[in-house]
Amino acid sequence: MWLITPVGFFSVVQKSSDVGSNTLTVRARVRSDLEALRDKFLPGMGEITESKSNDYRFRAVAPKAEVALAMATMVNDLDYSNFKSQVGKVQGAARAHMYHDVWEVGATSLPTSLLTESCQ
């Protein structure tokens, strides 16, 4: 699952090594994203490790229940009316611009059939 938040961009997965311990692996391309996540929402997250051979260079393991609580806390603490502006305040203009680029690709790349589809 990708999580694009005001504190960082994360990929959250359950690796085979997570299954027995009921944990999730939280990955990021930027170490400071994981550090901010730990500091603000996920204090139980384990050590951040680095690998120069993976697409997500930084990763850490956290209990699944604590990741769920962190996500709920992010939602409960949400108090801004514009996501990209909040990203600019928290992470700076360069990151806000990158998130805008992600938004723009989604806004301009969807086939018309998906845009006109109704939920059933």
CA count, 13 A, side-chain hemisphere, 81: 0
More confident residue, 117 or 5: 5
pLDDT in tens, 10-34: 999 999 999 999 999 999 999 999 9
**Cα–Cα distance measured from residue 66 to residue 64, given in angstroms and rounded to the nearest whole number:** 5
pLDDT over 60 at 98, yes or no: yes
pLDDT in tens, 35-80: 999 999 999 999 999 999 999 999 999 999 999 999 999 999 999 9
**Cα–Cα distance measured from residue 11 to residue 105, given in angstroms and rounded to the nearest whole number:** 19
**Cα–Cα distance measured from residue 58 to residue 93, given in angstroms and rounded to the nearest whole number:** 22
CB-CB contact of 90 with 74 (8 Å): no
Q: Where are the domains of the chain?
A: 1-79, 80-111
